[in-house]
Amino acid sequence: MRNFDPWVGSQYQNGLNGVRVLILGESHYGAPPERSGFTSAIINKYGQTKRSHFFSTTQRLVSLDKNRGHIPSSKRREFWDKVAFYNFVQEFVGTTSRLRPSQSQWEQGAEPFIQTVTELAPQLIVVLGQKLKTYLPPEINGVVYAYVKHPSGNGFSYKQFQPIVAKAFEQCEVRT
């Protein structure tokens, strides 16, 4: 069962550089009960309105932005309007960050994830987190996956992971 509906930007169908991109995160933190609009509220607040290290890093990673420093609010809105975002784990893992999902929380994420991919029909899924990769169901035929280290993790490097995302975009262009 899906507790958190995905964020779907108003221009998602047009895509980012013409590619429908689903950014796949791991989990949310908060106090139950889970609410279907929680993901959208988070993206609206921290992706589009306020500044957040995680969302800024994710934006730079996926948009292949080589610049550093402040991202103007207009650029934040423009980016998040073109992508979808979804967290694999469908219940809060705790009230503070750095807590890890339980085995059952990971396992229960597969079915809602497949439902979400079926509904959104992304061409590219950018998977944020090496641990998350181990719990994903088999890759869905026709969808390109880019697996990167979690942007909040130690050792994250644009130099290392932007080329992976760039190659995935190229694979999408070849298939269309």
Beta bridge partners of residue 23, listed in sequence order? 85, 126
pLDDT along the chain (176 residues), means of 10: 96 96 95 94 91 92 90 93 98 87 94 96 96 91 94 89 97 72
CA distance 106 to 122: 22
Tokens 């993790």 sit at which residue?
153
Query: Among 19, 14, 59, which residue's Cα sits nearest to residue 167?
Result: 19
Q: What is the pLDDT of residue 174?
A: 62
CA distance 75 to 85: 17
Q: What is the pLDDT of residue 35?
A: 94
Q: List the CATH code of the domain at 7-175.
A: 3.40.470.10
Q: Within a 10 A sphere around the Cβ of 37, how many other Cβ atoms?
A: 11
**Global confidence as pTM:** 0.95
Q: What is the pLDDT of residue 119?
A: 96
Q: Within a 10 A sphere around the Cβ of 171, how many other Cβ atoms?
A: 16
